Amino acid sequence: MTAEEKTILARFLDLTGDYLKYGHALHREEHAFKDDETTEPSDLPLAYMVEEPEDSPEYPDTVQSEDSLEAIVADVTACGACGLAATRTLPVPGEGSIHPLVMVIGEGPGADEDSTGRPFVGKAGQLLDKMLQSIGLERNKNCYIANIVKCRPPGNRDPEFDEIASCFPFLKRQIALLRPEIILCAGRVAAQSLLKTGKGINALRGEFFEFSIGEAVIPVLCTYHPSAILRDESLKRPAWEDLKLLKSQLASRLE
Ligand code: SF4
């Protein structure tokens, strides 16, 4: 609250109290208030400064000749590197085209994904499909969809730092293998984890960043998670602006 707002509120309370008690206003000294210290709401969420653990397997930035989507799925399925393995029903490695124009990265599986082993199903998944279709994309034709963590955090909580760090090598392998034209991060956790930033999604959306892997530099666009759009319709418009941006960037890369 600003000093001015506090002064107005205090005057109002003083006047109300005086009239109730004495039937008229008393002469009072001006209050001396200071502005509250403010924090940008977009910077409030925790940062996901992902550092891969030292004891993680070697997953270099370049594709290993023997690597494949099938190998990644097998490794994810066998993985017990973090606590989420104990509570998941099915791991959700990802799905889509082996030559995607766009790789969509979400936060982690929810209940529907956990029970099916597929990413972005349920209402949020249907909305994501519609968003992609609106700019001529299709999940299994020219997109690949994955998450930052491959196993469901219980109760749909945010994944924790150590869980993200343990799982990040799988995502890097996927990106190195798929080499999408553009990465679309859906939501804050995906954006912060991939870009290693503490900024909120409001500050990150609407412009391109870069993710380097090997010699490739892949443009990264961040937008709102479909679940957030379902909760708050006002996010539809900016999400649509992001999609238009993605479409035009894609068109220029494919020229
Ligand atoms: Fe392994 Fe990732 Fe699942 Fe954790 S979330 S158990 S690191 S696959």
- In this predicted structure, the answer to whether residue 55 has a pLDDT above a threshold of 50 is no
- In this predicted structure, the answer to whether residue 74 has a pLDDT above a threshold of 80 is yes
Q: Do 77 and 110 have their domain in common?
A: yes
Q: What distance in Å separates the CA atoms of residue 101 and residue 183, rounded to the nearest whole number?
A: 9
**Bigger pLDDT: 165 or 14?**
165
Per residue in 122-139, pLDDT tens? 999 999 999 999 999 999
Per residue in 207-237, pLDDT tens? 999 999 988 999 999 999 999 999 999 999 9
Q: Provide the residue range defining the domain that includes 24.
A: 1-36
Closest C-alpha to ligand 1, atom 2: 167
Q: Do 124 and 246 have their domain in common?
A: yes
* CATH number for 165: 3.40.470.10
Task: Confirm whether 126 is domain-assigned.
Answer: yes
Give, in order, the Cα–Cα distances in Å from 36 to each of 1, 10, 44: 5, 15, 16
Q: Do 131 and 61 have their domain in common?
A: yes
- In this predicted structure, the answer to whether residue 48 has a pLDDT above a threshold of 60 is no
Q: Do 24 and 82 have their domain in common?
A: no
CA 149 to ligand 1 center in whole angstroms: 6
Q: Do 30 and 122 have their domain in common?
A: no
The H or E element that residue 159 is part of is none
Per residue in 5-38, pLDDT tens? 666 667 767 777 777 777 777 776 666 666 554 4
Task: Confirm whether 212 is domain-assigned.
Answer: yes
Q: Do 7 and 90 have their domain in common?
A: no
Q: DSSP character for 125?
A: H
Per residue in 102-120, pLDDT tens? 999 999 999 999 999 999 9
Q: Do 86 and 203 have their domain in common?
A: yes
pLDDT value at residue 27:
73
Q: Do 173 and 244 have their domain in common?
A: yes
pLDDT value at residue 60:
45
Q: Do 133 and 164 have their domain in common?
A: yes
Per residue in 139-164, pLDDT tens? 999 999 999 999 999 998 999 999 99
Task: Confirm whether 41 is domain-assigned.
Answer: no
Q: Do 224 and 119 have their domain in common?
A: yes
CA 140 to ligand 1 center in whole angstroms: 24
Please provide the DSSP assignment of 15-64 as one string. Answer: HHHHHHHHSSPPP-PPP---PPP---GGG-SPP------TTS----SS--
Task: Confirm whether 42 is domain-assigned.
Answer: no
pLDDT value at residue 58:
42
pLDDT value at residue 8:
66
Q: Do 159 and 228 have their domain in common?
A: yes
pLDDT value at residue 38:
40
Task: Confirm whether 189 is domain-assigned.
Answer: yes
Task: Confirm whether 164 is domain-assigned.
Answer: yes
Pocket of ligand 1 from Cβ distances under 6 Å: 76, 79-82, 84-85, 91, 149-151, 163, 166-167
**Nearest Cα to Cα of residue 207 among 189, 190, 191:** 191
What is the position in ligand 1's atom list of the atom closest to the CA of 149?
5
Q: Do 191 and 220 have their domain in common?
A: yes
- In this predicted structure, the answer to whether residue 41 has a pLDDT above a threshold of 50 is no
Task: Confirm whether 21 is domain-assigned.
Answer: yes
Average pLDDT of every residue of the chain: 86
Letter for the amino acid at 130?
K
Letter for the amino acid at 155?
G
Task: Confirm whether 146 is domain-assigned.
Answer: yes
Look at the chain and report how many structural domains it folds into.
2
- In this predicted structure, the answer to whether residue 56 has a pLDDT above a threshold of 90 is no
